[in-house]
A and B are shown apart, each in its own frame.
Chain A
Amino acid sequence: MTAAATPADVESARGASRESAGTRSAAAATSVLVLPGVAWLGVFFLVPLAIMAVVSVGAVDSAGHITLANPSLRNYSHALDPEFIPALLRSIYYAAATTLLSLAIGYPVAYWISRYGGRHKVALLILVMLPFWTSYLIRTYAWVMILRDNGVLNSVLLDSGVIDEPIPILNTDVSVILGMTYGFLPYAILPLFVSIDRLDYSMVQAARDLYASGRGAFIHVTLPLTMPGLVAAGLLTFIPALGDFVTPSVLGGAQTTTIAKLVQTIFTAGRDWPYGSALGFLLMGVTIVGTLVALRSLRREVMGASA
């Protein structure tokens, strides 16, 4: 990503004479900037996670207690069961659709706020977040009221003559994706805004002259320049969407179970922490490999585009 490229510029700009001083101050900067956050995540995230990793090779004994008497990878092989595949594919489908929609909706909005928001930019951004300072559950239930067969949306469509009978939207793939897009849209808009807002519009203008089309300028200049924002927005949408199970349970139906819901079930109704942890870790493994591969190929593409 761009992060890797910029420090190189710094180093070269500094010149050889200041290199050693630069290295020293870089070390100091690293310890000030990076260490506190890493230390925090180490203590409050990695240590607890390591405990669960140990749990995942354990088992539940006949009294219902977790035992490490015979540590094994049994839970992992159990979790590789193909029965999870439909739910996994469904989760990926929901998360991908949510991400694409969020980026497609979020980009123009973030662009508009940044370009034309003027001195109201901050207020407009707070307005994007305002609905999210109410509770998630009631927002989702408000969607139930809007989407149900005799709800607000169907009434409006019926009265205006667009449809003759209510269309069933609730408890389908459509309502799940709509609800998730609603829930994750701010996580796309904000990172997109902070990146787009750094655009130098004189460059865009120059590109318009060069490519003689708005589209060409957008594809060759605007998009590559705002790629860090797109990547951040994509990550902050796709990954949490993959783990969402509240939206599919409230707005979804009998046929919309996600893999995160099954993990939840194993922990709660199944009372099997070792097995649930193992399945959870497998999912994290798949997600992280997928993400890193996607980021790498994206970086190659961006580099290619901007070169």
Chain B
Amino acid sequence: MSGKPSRWLTGFTVLTYVFLFAPIVVLIVFSFNDSRRSFTWQGFTLQWYEKLLANTEMIDALRVTLVVAVAAVVGATILGSLLGLGLARLRFRGSGGVQTLLLLPIMTPEIIMGISLLVFFSQLFGLNGSIGQIALAHITFCISYVAITVRARAASLDPRLEEAARDLGASAVGAFRHVTLPLLAPGIAAGAMLAFALSFDDLVVTSFNTGVGSTTLPVQIYSGIRFGVTPQINAISTIIVAVVSIALLLAWRLGAFRTAARAVVADPEAA
């Protein structure tokens, strides 16, 4: 499986990670900067963290954002994975149409999607925006990303594997569970991660579907951007990065990844 990577390739990968984390380092540093909107270092302070903890609007927005993101990930991952697998495996009438349908949400200008859902929910159902409405909207635009990612994985799989399992006496469900699903898992996980990031960051579609008490973090941030990105936002992002990193490290130490890696990445073909 391994072998030795070329120095060039490893260096390139390391540089890419540096590129990905450069702005994160900047925002962590500036979460301790003693100035409300200066781009230059003005001294160390913890005041933004103190203000953040007292800022119920911001904490509420984070809570709403996380609830929506989890709902979007669960909904979109289930629907999108099934769709991706179906498109890769089955030949059915209208599959071309379904493929095109999958591309449409990505192509729709965000403001059209946002306004269309606003009109849809308010005029057809008399709804005024809520956490649930935002979650429904997010599931809708996340499905395509999951489906396309899972499909790419499924398309590179050999369907004869499942056939072989069935020929060996496995039930259809059993063959799917023990052969296909583990092979698809990386695609599903990747799709879920994309869905989380998409939902967590969405501004335009969300801004038309918020209701009383359901402001998300991006909406909260953007509404105050005229006054500069308050370092409270840097602080909240630093906390998120820290929490995820610590969880990651703990899982690593506890060996969760070894198990996960075996379950997710291990190759049943080789086993």
Known: A2-B155, A133-B197. A291 touches B136 (CB 8 A): no
Known pairs A29-B90, A194-B187, A225-B156; A122 contacts B260 (CB<8 A): yes
Q: Using known A-B contacts A6-B159, A148-B39, A276-B111, determine if residue A288 contacts B23 with beta carbons closer than 8 Å.
A: no
- Taking residues whose C-beta sits less than 8 angstroms from the other chain, chain A's interface range is 35 or more
Question: When the two chains form their complex, are residues B265 and A131 in contact, meaning their CB atoms are under 8 A apart?
Answer: no
| B237 CB contacts on chain A under 8 angstroms | 134-135, 138
C-alpha spacing A140/B221, complex, angstroms: 13
Across the interface, name the chain B residue whose C-beta is closest to A106.
Answer: B16
Contacts A122-B264, A191-B190, A194-B186 hold; do A131 and B20 have CB atoms under 8 A apart?
Answer: yes
Interface size on B, residues (CB 8 A): 112
Contact A288 B30 (CB under 8 A): no
Q: Which residues of B contact A14 (CB under 8 A)?
A: 163
A30 near B90 with CB under 8 A, answer yes
A47–B116 alpha-carbon span in the complex (Å): 9
Contact with B along A44-66 (1 / 0, CB 8 A): 11111101100100000000000
Determine the chain B residues whose CB is within 8 A of the CB of A148 once the complex forms.
Answer: 39
Give the most central of B106, B109, B159, B217: most A CB within 10 Å: B109
Cα of A123 to Cα of B248 in the assembled complex, Å: 7
Contact (Cβ within 8 A) B153 A198 = yes
Q: How far is the CA of A133 from the CA of B145 in the complex (A)?
A: 17
Nearest CB in chain A: distance from B144 CB, A: 8
In the assembly, what is the distance between CA of A30 and CA of B89, in Å?
9
Question: Are A260 and B257 interface neighbours, CB within 8 A?
Answer: no
- Bound together, the chains give a CA A283 to CA B151 distance in angstroms of 26
A29 nearest in chain B by CB position = B90
- Selecting from A33-41, A72-80, A81-89, A158-166, the interface stretch reads A33-41
Q: Does B110 make an interface contact (CB < 8 A)?
A: yes
Q: How far is the CA of A143 from the CA of B27 in the complex (A)?
A: 10
CA distance A125 to B13 in the complex (A): 12
CB contacts under 8 Å to A, within B84-113, are 85-92, 95, 98-113
Tell me, in angstroms, the Cα distance from A292 to B251 when the chains sit together: 43
A226 in the interface (beta carbon within 8 A): yes
Docked CA distance A4–B153 (Å)? 14
| A7 contacts partner chain B, Cβ-Cβ < 8 Å | yes
CB of A246 to closest CB in B, whole Å: 7
| B179 close to chain A: CB less than 8 A | no
Q: Is A190 an interface residue (CB 8 A)?
A: yes
| Residue contact A112 to B5, C-beta cutoff 8 Å | yes
Chain B residues lying within 8 Å of A146, measured Cβ to Cβ, are 22-23, 26
Are the CB atoms of B107 and A288 closer together than 8 Å? yes
Pair A142/B115 contact, Cβ less than 8 Å = no
Give the Cβ gap from A150 to chain B, nearest Cβ, in Å: 8
B159-A130 in contact (CB<8A): no
Min C-beta distance of B127 to chain A, whole Å: 13
Of residues 190 through 226 on chain B, the ones whose CB sits less than 8 Å from some CB of chain A are: 190-191, 193-194, 196-197, 200-201, 203, 217-218, 221-222, 225
User: Told that A32-B82, A190-B149 touch, could you supply 6 new A-B pairs with CB distance under 8 A?
Assistant: A29-B89, A131-B23, A148-B39, A228-B156, A277-B112, A283-B109
Q: What are 21 A-to-B residue pairs whose CB atoms are below 8 Å?
A: A6-B159, A40-B79, A40-B140, A46-B101, A108-B9, A108-B12, A118-B1, A123-B252, A125-B190, A126-B244, A133-B200, A137-B218, A138-B237, A146-B26, A151-B39, A191-B148, A193-B186, A243-B107, A243-B108, A243-B109, A291-B103
